[in-house]
Homo-oligomer: A and B are copies of this chain.
Amino acid sequence: MNLPTHVRLVEVGPRDGLQNEKKPISVADKVRLVDDLTAAGLSHVEVGSFVSPKWVPQMAGSTEVFAGIQRKAGVTYAALTPNLKGLEAALESRVEEVAVFAAASESFSQRNINCSIDESLQRFIPLLEAATTAGVRVRGYVSCVLGCPYEGAVAAERVAVVARELDAMGCYEVSLGDTIGTGTPGATRHLFEVVGRAVPRERLAGHFHDTYGQALANVYASLLEGIAVFDASVAGLGGCPYAKGATGNVATEDLLYLLDGLGIVTGVDADRLIAAGERICAVLGRENGSRVARARRA
């Protein structure tokens, strides 16, 4: 059992989290959240998304958020950019990294981004070229890696094909997302075994949703497969759009508790992270989705 000694946490709360919260919040509150997170020691934060506010009103003001944050040395400030127009705006905001989003399920791709998996990948090629020219790294997401809300089971081999494409076109890392949270540890290990033959494991990340309570068990299974990068959302921000009232992203606090317990180094301070989560929950008027945060209140 050789667990990684270090793990990089990719904080997706300000983007994947807030995007799935009903209540849009102010630019000032977003800036504060990002700064709180980097002050807690997170070295990789997805700050926002450069998409039309018509489609995702929660992500309006990403340019202002990037302008307002206090940039810390050594921190990667990233943004989701679905197309070239988004990339241009991101570059103007001096992002360190952009992310593109593909699906492992054809139905999900069609319904979520209105094109086939192949079309989405083709669309990313010029985006990656432009980003690379601008000296900006690109991270790839693959969604529905352990199940699709429309198709059900998704074969690991299909995930591997999409991950390999993203890797081949220059994504420095591919994050595999269990979008609907139906994965369990055996399937998770199988996934990384299969995808790990297409893309080196050190360029793979795990992105787990806790909808069915399985996220941390899946993280532990991933660690046993040598995966050392995980996405998480402070306070478990972001619900699950496919199961109302259900849990979405795994809470960064709970994931950190797991890693701290395993003696794995992350550089993140639990107390400051918990405080950041409590603060944004107060702003949103939502319950804190982190069980660690709730236990610590007592």
Interface residues on A, range: 35 or more
Listed stretches A20-28, A44-52, A73-81, A245-253; interface member: A245-253
A295–B261 contact, CB under 8 A? no
Q: Which residues of B contact A284 (CB under 8 A)?
A: none
A187–B261 contact, CB under 8 A? yes
Minimal beta-carbon separation of A208 from chain B (angstroms): 11
**Is A298's CB within 8 Å of the partner chain B?**
yes
Q: What is the count of identical protomers in the complex?
A: 2
Give the CA-CA distance A221 to B211 in the complex, in Å: 20
B298–A185 contact, CB under 8 A? no
In the complex, the chain B residue whose C-beta lies closest to that of A184 is: B261
Of the residues B186, B211, B242, B290, contact of A213 by C-beta under 8 Å: B290
**Is A283's CB within 8 Å of the partner chain B?**
no
Interface hub of A213, A216, A240, A242 (most chain B Cβ within 10 A): A213
Q: How would residues 172 to 196 of chain A score, 1 for a CB under 8 Å from any chain B CB and 0 otherwise?
A: 0000000001011111010000000
A214-B216 contact in complex given A184-B261, A245-B294, A262-B184, C-beta closer than 8 Å: yes
A294–B183 contact, CB under 8 A? no
A185-B247 contact in complex given A210-B291, A214-B216, A290-B213, C-beta closer than 8 Å: no
Q: Which residues of B contact A150 (CB under 8 A)?
A: none
Q: How would residues 270 to 298 of chain A score, 1 for a CB under 8 Å from any chain B CB and 0 otherwise?
A: 00000000000000000000111011111
